[in-house]
Amino acid sequence: MSARKLLSTDIERYFALYPVRPSAYRRFRTVMETEAIWAIAVYRWGHYLHYDASRFTRLVFKFPYHYISKLVGMMVGIHLFAETKIGPGFYIGHYGGIWISPLATLGANCNIGPNVVIGVAGKGREKGPTLGDRVGVGPGAVITGEVNVGSGAVVAANSLVSGNVPENAVVIGVPARVLTYTGSANLIGIPTER
Ligand SMILES: CC(C)(COP(=O)(O)OP(=O)(O)OC[C@H]1O[C@@H](n2cnc3c(N)ncnc32)[C@H](O)[C@@H]1OP(=O)(O)O)[C@@H](O)C(=O)NCCC(=O)NCCS
């Protein structure tokens, strides 16, 4: 999927609860006024430059990207890296204190709250966490190390995930333990065809 298409699936997530297709004006205002969308847009651009762009394009835009990415990161407190692999329909609710490692992988339609850290364990290991599709990560959660978080799982607010999480599990606490297997369907609004 092209970077432009990926970004449009991300933006679409911000209208998931709209019963009708939002007007161009509504969409424009949402993009201009939603800090998380700025960070996601810069990330999609950087990811394209890193993996898909021609050498020439990469050379021309490397420095502008680097400084725009730094600036947006400082302004809104959402730190995303070009190397990170994030599937379509990425949604960040609110902003501030968000750090997603270059070594992390996120599937499609994941939700991230404010103050979420998804990173390596700091034990000299090389791999970061892998999240499946439709994973909801509540505010203040930390997911660390070479762990797998199954599709449809929910990580509750302020939890610490340092082990694998089964599909559709709702995990809570420090360290996180499974509370139920009710999954993320009620938390994650995925746009339908309008
Ligand atoms: C994961 C979550 C959805 C669980 O909801 P739920 O399945 O309805 O669970 P309940 O509210 O019934 O709580 C079940 C138990 O877990 C406890 N609990 C719920 N969330 C908890 C949390 N984040 N940390 C510790 N304990 C928690 C409750 O106190 C309750 O304990 P009890 O049985 O001793 O009374 C919810 O806790 C959560 O974290 N939501 C995130 C909300 C969010 O992201 N909001 C966006 C704001 S930007």
Regarding the beta carbon of 31 and ligand 1, being less than 6 Å apart is answered no
Residue 46 clears pLDDT 80, i.e. is over it: yes
Range 67-78 average pLDDT: 97
Regarding the beta carbon of 62 and ligand 1, being less than 6 Å apart is answered no
Q: Which residues pair with 92 in a beta bridge?
A: 112
Residue 58 clears pLDDT 80, i.e. is over it: yes
Model pTM above 0.95: no
Regarding the beta carbon of 119 and ligand 1, being less than 6 Å apart is answered no
- CATH code of the region 3-180: 2.160.10.10
Report pLDDT digits (tens) over 132-150: 999 999 999 999 999 999 9
Label residues 44-69 b or e (16+ Cβ within 10 Å = b). bbbbbbbeebeeeeeeebeeebeebb
The domain ranges of the chain are: 3-180
**pLDDT confidence band for 122 (50 / 70 / 90):** confident
Residue nearest to atom 36 of ligand 1 (CA): 156
Residue 194 clears pLDDT 80, i.e. is over it: no
